[in-house]
Each structure stands twice: as structure tokens, then as C-alpha cells.
Structure 1
Amino acid sequence: MANSIYKKISKLFRDPNMFFYDMFRKRAFKGAPPKTKKITSQNNISAFPTINALEVQNLGLVNYLRRNLKAGLGPKDGSDCNSLLLWAGYLGALINFISGLKSTMTMNITIYTLGGGYSYTSTNGELFDSNQITKNLNSKPDFVIELSNELGDLYILHFYLFDLDVTGLATVRSNKSWVRKFPLEELENIYSPEKQTKERKIDAVYTWVNHADLAWQEQWKNSFPDSEFDPDRYTSNDELKYSLRSLNKYAPWLNNIYIVSNCAKPSWLTNHPRIIWVDHNEIFPYSESLPTFNSHAIESCLHHIKDLSEYFIYLNDDFILGQPCLPSDFFDEAGRSLAYFEPYGMVYSSSDKEGVPDYLLAAMNSNKLIKEQHPEYDSKYLHRHVPYALRKSVLMEIERTYPESFSITRNSKIRSPLDINLTSFLYHHYSYINGTSVKSEVSSLIVRPNNINSILSKDSYKYKILCFNDGNGSADDIAYKKSTQQYLDKRLSEKAPWEVIAAS
């Protein structure tokens, strides 16, 4: 008896948190189902075994965590193998494991909550405060842990916490979870391998131009000998490299990645089976339309890329993913594309087009086409500056519906007052009218010189998608470009497998 009391007192002084945790557990879970008793009986600090780095490599980090923390998979959509459903009582064990992994595999660690609110970064060799991190995350519904090292290991894991009641019923804290409540014995069945194998293939497509390419400069001079090109529109600052890194980091489920250009490949890009370089002459119906410097014209031909999947997302090279993304961020379960419209109307009907910017003129022209067939429909909203979810069959249908507008746009070598903007406006309204797209919301930001400091500090992890869009002379703003590079180096330092490895 005295020995038992001594052990309890020793535990109280050694670890008061665990002392009161065990006392509460024994009372609260008295009479609970056997599986609930079993999972709650394990100490949430010492339950995790000594880290076996070789086993982590062989099993994979996700499977290693599942084995030791009895975590469920796919809480966001039932199929994502990089999101884990974790009992809140194991939070301390998880964070202590991450601390050990950091030392064992020389990892850089970043932990943050979506939408901002909390973030913590500890690079290799820096202190990792497990107790404080656990305390900060204890009340959160979900959080992301990023792990990387110089050996090329990269893990992006999204954890959803659940709580248990005395009957063994689990309640997931996040209202964005695919399943909110479930009996504990069904934890292992939340993830659906069958759904993952049936998941549709989704490609990514970029359009890219490099102002420094000598052959491109020669084409411009031959086409427009008396005009200089606009640096805001054609300047490349290696945004493509970092945009591709963001896909590798936050959308590893993507299939092929096509890059459409009339320039030479950048020096840092090596041959890789997932990266397919597409020249303009491979997708334009008539060679007489080339060379072109009109993004509207190029975008009107993307659906003619050979072997392009039915479902794809189109990105400008200045789009950056800032958080883990899933296929459900672009297409719903019925295969409808998600349209991210601006909350305010910008597009109007007018015969006076003096002084109207070219992107708005193209939207007005597209709006006119829609109004001719659907006069009751209000298509005044632009699509936000985020990746565009598109379906090849719908684009083909639009081309068959408006062949003259396609021809005019494709034959305009620079943006003209008669252009349509297919991928950034017309498609989304046309498909919404016809039931092949739905409206949705996403956290995004157009980064400008006047707001970039916010994402270098408090808002670094707030947005799912960022657009570093040049305009009003920002391409020549040295301070802005320096700040942009600072952000990219901080958030996307991990090289993608298609980048050339520098000689040592």
C-alpha cells in the first residue's frame, strides 16, 4: 500500500500532467467498451517506441504512424493517404515522436493551422519545444506538419483530432472532416482504398514565357519591330520553378504536368516522365497563327494537347499552392469543376470600350456570347486568380459553339479588343449554366508590393493559393522581387524531383 502511494506521489512530481490524465481516464472511462479502454489506457507521452529510422524508411512515415498511434486515414475525403485521424490523447506522443524524428533524420519541421492562427518552425539543429507545441495544438481541430531534410525526404501530413466519449463514440473536431462521428471500432475503415483506385486522373497545364530567351526575342522583333514588350507580362523570374515545387509538395496526386511554351526549357528543368514540354505548334490548328504572344490565343488551344486527361487544372506560372490541396479542391464527386468567382461584379455590357483593360475586354466579349444564348443569366463575375479547374470535353463543346470567336482570338498575336478569355472566364460561366461546374470558395491572395509583408510574417500560412501577379510596374520593383524571393525560399525550399541536381 505504501509502495503504491509512493509511486503515485513520485509520478505526481515527475509528470503532473500525466498523473491527472491517468486519474481522469480511469474515472471517465470506467465501464467503457473494451476497445475504448485499450486505446485510452496507453500513456499519451511514453506510448511511442524508440524511433527506428530504417523502419520509417521501409514502411513509410504514414504507415509507421498508423502502426504506433492507431491513426485513421483520409478524414478529409475518405481517400487522401497523407491526412491522418488521431485521437487527441495521442497528441503528446505524436509531437514527441516528431521531436525524435527531427534529431534522428536531421529534419526541418514546420507545424501550422490552416487559415493562420498558429505556426512554428524549427530547422535542423534548432530547439524543438515539444511541451509548448503540444499545449498550443491541444485545442485545435486540425493542423499540418511539414518535414524535410537535405537528403530529399519530404512529408506533408494533415492531422485531424478526434475526441472519445465513454461509450466509445468518436467525434472529429473539424467541421471539414468527411466523417464527423463514428464508433471507435470503425476507425480503420474510414479510409477507402477502393475509392482511391477509382479516383479520376487529373493533369496540370502551364503556359510559360521567358523574356530572356533569345529566340523568343527574335520572334518578337520580327513580329513587332517598332514595339517593346511589356515586362509585367513577359518577364520570367523563375516563378515556374517554385510553382512546380508547390505542386510537388502540396498536390502529389496530380498525374502529368504539361508546360506549353514557345521558349527553350529553363536550365534547371531536367527530363522527367511527369513533365511534358509542349510547343505552340503542337496545339494550334493553323501554323499561320504563329508565332503568338497572346495568352488568350494560347489558352484557347490547351484542350488540343495530345493525351491530356479529361480533367485538368490550368495554372499561370505565378500561381503558388500554399497549403495541402486535394482533388476535391478542384472537382466535386460528380466530376463537376469548381468555379471560384470573385464576390463582386466587374463585367458589364457597353459599346464604349475606350480605356478598358484588355483582360476586361475579353471578359466583356465572352459575356456577350453567353448573353446571346442565355439573356437571363448574369455573368458579371470574373474568376479569381487561382488555378482553373477545366474539363476537356466542355472546352471542345465551347469551341464547337463559338468557332468564329475562337478563330479571331487565335489569330491575334497580341491581346486585342476582340479576344475572348476561354479558360479564365467563358468556360466557368458556360459550364455553370450547363451544370458541369459549381460555385465554390477558396482562401487566396493576389500578392502585391503593398501586401507582401503580411505573408512574410503573420499570414505566411493563411492562404491555400497565392498569385504573384505582376502589374503596374511591379516586374521592375527590386524590393518587391526581393521580398517575393524571400517568401519562396522560406516556404518552397525543397527541390522537386525534376530539378537538375547541382554539382557538388
Structure 2
Amino acid sequence: MSAELTPVDAVITWVDGADPKHAQKLSECLRQQGIERPSTVSKSRLNDSGELAFCVTSILRFAPWIRTIFIVSDEQKPSLIATLADTAYQERVKVVDHKEIFRGHLSVLPVFNIRSLTTALWRIEGLSDRFIFFNDDFFLLRPVQEDDFFREGKMVVRGRYTWFKHLSPLGRILTKLKAMLFKHKSGRASHLLGQEMAAKLAGMKHRYLRLDHNPHPFLKHTVADFYTAHPDFFKENIHYRFRSEKQFVGEALATYVAILGAEVILDNTLKTAQIKAADRSVLHIKQQIEVADRSERYAFACVQGLDAGTEEIQALLKEWMHRRVGTLEHFLSSFNSGRRPEHE
């Protein structure tokens, strides 16, 4: 199948940690495993403060060429589905349950782990060969085109080539020394280490593409072919209910397999405004917003831990998101009236 002839879909992973049923499921899983709640499933990571609605609205508004938006969730349905009912966009946004992407492997459920999820996203029924993965705290800042993600039948990716650090001979020695001298227990599922693991599994030898934090394009056939050839890699990576240092990053592996198959174009023109609401001052975040507003290169934003920020920071970021994206209700109202949103 030619990737050039297929439409482009979007896939968003989402959870509402404030849902009592989901919270009970998480608590029971932690109890069964006899562990404390890891930071990777903290309330600020799992609670929905409206980020998903901004993500979906930004895709509908700024990437109208995307065919279907699939929201992958765990027995949950976001309220925006009701908002879209009986509108022209009703069939363009669909909810996919974890049971669908883990079919044949249901013993791994429940999963509270983005790495397990990104390993299995390609198994969504009806998903196009070309799709873009969004975290639910991502959103688009301005109109983007299909060739910002797929060009000449290839994936357009963003990042920098670098030498292996953690998995180099020297890196392994330093890790062992740290463990011996400081009784260090790593245990931390470093994103960089997860990328390096994916690069090694894909077959990269000395250096790899360190991926930027942005929406990631996928070619479904590349990951499907890889996991068909290496089913144990797939089974191993999905069986962790919580993020583990033993896991590779799913979107990274999809990229590296495509690189080795000559199906990637590297283009760092577009950038992401990555904002951490809980870890930055108001002044710092205002500066980030100003930079993103001034430059056309900033096409993406990621607002992490919105509900963990101070009231002032939350208000600042929500005002910015409203200004740059607008609400779903306003978008639908403008569409129905034939008017362009005032924000444009």
C-alpha cells in the first residue's frame, strides 16, 4: 500500500484520573503490586483540566485535512463527545478502548503506562497507514499542513542526531560505578534511555536521532512489520502496567525503524513551546508565551501538569490557550454560522 495515497489520522492518548472508577482501578492495581504510587501516575499527570478539548479543537481548526481523531482511553468517554453529537464533526472524533489495541493480550490490562500504549497504537481498527500521535496535553498553535508531517511518502521528524550516552560502553561503566559508589538504584524510566533502547532494538549502532517533544508521525506498516518480525519485543514492552526503565519509547522505535528503511525526512523548522506549569515561575512562563507568539516557527505547544500550577499560572495558561486555540463550542458555533473563529 502506498503511504502517499492514504489519509492521515490523529491518535490521542487520554485519561481522566479524577474519575472514581479509574481511581479505584489504579488503587487496586497498586495494592496488588505492593508499590507506592509512582510519579508517572501522579494526579497532575492523570487529571484532565480541559487539555484534551484544546488538543481536539486545535486539530479540527488548524489541521482540517486530518480524517479521523481517535481518542484512546480506558473505559472512559470525554465530555467533548457529547458536545460533538449531531454536528458535522460527530463521526470524525472516535473513542477507542484499551481493550481494542491490546486485543489478544488482555492479561496486561489495566495499563497506566504511556510506553505500553504507544507500542500498541498501530492496532486501532480502521486506522490509516499514516497517523500522528498526540499526548492529550499537546495542541497546535497555528495552521499546519500535511507535508509538515508526511512528505514524499515519508515521515517528517524533528530532532538531533547524537551519540549513545546511557547505552554506550562508557555509559554502562559509569552507571555501574554510580550504583557501587552511591548505592544508586536507577529505577527511573528516563525518556532519553527509552529512546536509546528503541534505537538499539531498531538496529542503530553508534548514534541515534534524539527526538524533539512534539506530535509524532507514524507509518503503521513500518511498526506492524517490525513487530511481526519481532513479536517478543512487542509482548515485553506492553506488559508493564506502570512505566519502567526496562521499556523502550514506542514512538521512538517507530521513527528509528522508518529511518533505517529510508522512510524519514528530518526537518527542524517547526518547534514546540514546552511549558511545565508546576516547575516554572510566572515570569518564565510569560517569556515562553511571548516567544511562541512572536515566532511562526512555534507550531506546537505542550502544557504539562496544568492543574499543578498556581492559580495565577493556571489562569495565565488557560487565557493563552483560549486566545490561540479557542473553545470547542466557539469553534462549532463559528463553523455552523459560516464565520471564521475570531482568534484567526
Q: Same fold (TM over 0.5)?
A: yes
Q: Distance in 1 between matches of 2:44 and 2:230?
A: 30
Equivalent AA in structure 2 for residue 410 of structure 1: I
Q: Distance in 1 between matches of 2:144 and 2:207?
A: 30
1:392 aligns with 2:220: yes
Q: Distance in 2 between matches of 1:467 and 1:342?
A: 19
Alignment of 1:173-252 (within 5 A): 200-225=6-31, 227-228=36-37, 229-252=41-64
Equivalent residue number for residue 262 of structure 2: 435
Equivalent residue number for residue 490 of structure 1: 323
- Residues 265 and 245 (structure 1 numbering): CA distance in 2 closer, same or farther, change over 3 Å? same
Equivalent AA in structure 1 for residue 238 of structure 2: R
Equivalent AA in structure 2 for residue 446 of structure 1: Q
Q: What TM-score, normalized to structure 2?
A: 0.78
**Matching residue within 262, 266, 274 for 1:446:** 274
Say if 1:261 and 1:280, in contact at 8 Å, map to a contact too: yes
Alignment of 1:22-61 (within 5 A): none
Equivalent AA in structure 1 for residue 249 of structure 2: N
Say if 1:455 and 1:461, in contact at 8 Å, map to a contact too: no
- Residues 252 and 346 (structure 1 numbering): CA distance in 2 closer, same or farther, change over 3 Å? farther
- Residues 458 and 300 (structure 1 numbering): CA distance in 2 closer, same or farther, change over 3 Å? closer
Question: RCO greater where, 1 or 2, for CA within 8 Å and sep 6 or more?
Answer: 2
Equivalent residue number for residue 249 of structure 2: 421
SS of structure 2 residue aligned to 1:273: helix
Residue by residue over 1:324-364, the C-alpha shift from the partner in whole angstroms, topping out at 9 and shown as x without a partner, is 100000001x2100111146667531443844543233223
Specify which structure has the higher proportion of helix: 2
1:331 aligns with 2:150: yes
Equivalent residue number for residue 207 of structure 2: 378
Q: Distance in 1 between matches of 2:204 and 2:325?
A: 44
**Matching residue within 113, 123, 139 for 1:294:** 113
SS of structure 1 residue aligned to 2:139: strand
Equivalent residue number for residue 179 of structure 2: none
Q: Distance in 1 between matches of 2:96 and 2:330?
A: 20
Q: Distance in 2 between matches of 1:346 and 1:454?
A: 33
Q: Distance in 2 between matches of 1:227 and 1:475?
A: 22
Q: Distance in 2 between matches of 1:500 and 1:416?
A: 44
Equivalent AA in structure 2 for residue 362 of structure 1: G
Say if 1:206 and 1:314, in contact at 8 Å, map to a contact too: yes
SS of structure 1 residue aligned to 2:72: strand
Q: Distance in 1 between matches of 2:207 and 2:56?
A: 35
Q: Which is worse superposed, 321-330 or 338-347? A: 338-347
Stretches (4+) displaced over 6 A: 497-501
- Residues 490 and 500 (structure 1 numbering): CA distance in 2 closer, same or farther, change over 3 Å? closer
Q: Which runs of 5+ in 1 are unaligned?
A: 1-197
Say if 1:331 and 1:389, in contact at 8 Å, map to a contact too: yes
SS of structure 2 residue aligned to 1:300: helix
Equivalent AA in structure 1 for residue 24 of structure 2: E
SS of structure 2 residue aligned to 1:203: strand
Say if 2:44 and 2:307, in contact at 8 Å, map to a contact too: yes
Say if 1:293 and 1:413, in contact at 8 Å, map to a contact too: yes
- Structure ID, larger Rg: 1
Equivalent residue number for residue 182 of structure 2: none
Alignment of 1:117-128 (within 5 A): none
Paired-residue identity, %:
22
Q: Distance in 1 between matches of 2:303 and 2:67?
A: 25
- Residues 326 and 302 (structure 1 numbering): CA distance in 2 closer, same or farther, change over 3 Å? same
Equivalent residue number for residue 153 of structure 1: none
Equivalent residue number for residue 136 of structure 2: 317
1:261 aligns with 2:89: no
Equivalent residue number for residue 281 of structure 1: 99
Say if 1:269 and 1:498, in contact at 8 Å, map to a contact too: no
Q: Distance in 1 between matches of 2:332 and 2:26?
A: 29
- For residue 302 of structure 1, report the CA deviation from its aligned partner: 0.7
- Residues 439 and 496 (structure 1 numbering): CA distance in 2 closer, same or farther, change over 3 Å? farther
Equivalent AA in structure 2 for residue 280 of structure 1: H
- For residue 369 of structure 1, report the CA deviation from its aligned partner: 1.5
Equivalent residue number for residue 407 of structure 1: 235
Q: Distance in 2 between matches of 1:346 and 1:440?
A: 21
Equivalent AA in structure 2 for residue 378 of structure 1: R
Q: What TM-score, normalized to structure 1?
A: 0.54
Equivalent AA in structure 2 for residue 247 of structure 1: I
Task: Note the aligned Cα RMSD (angstroms).
Answer: 2.5
Q: Distance in 1 between matches of 2:23 and 2:214?
A: 29
1:359 aligns with 2:191: yes
Say if 1:244 and 1:496, in contact at 8 Å, map to a contact too: no
Say if 2:274 and 2:301, in contact at 8 Å, map to a contact too: yes
SS of structure 2 residue aligned to 1:404: helix
**Matching residue within 154, 158, 165 for 1:340:** 158
Q: Which runs of 5+ in 2 are unaligned?
A: 177-184, 335-344
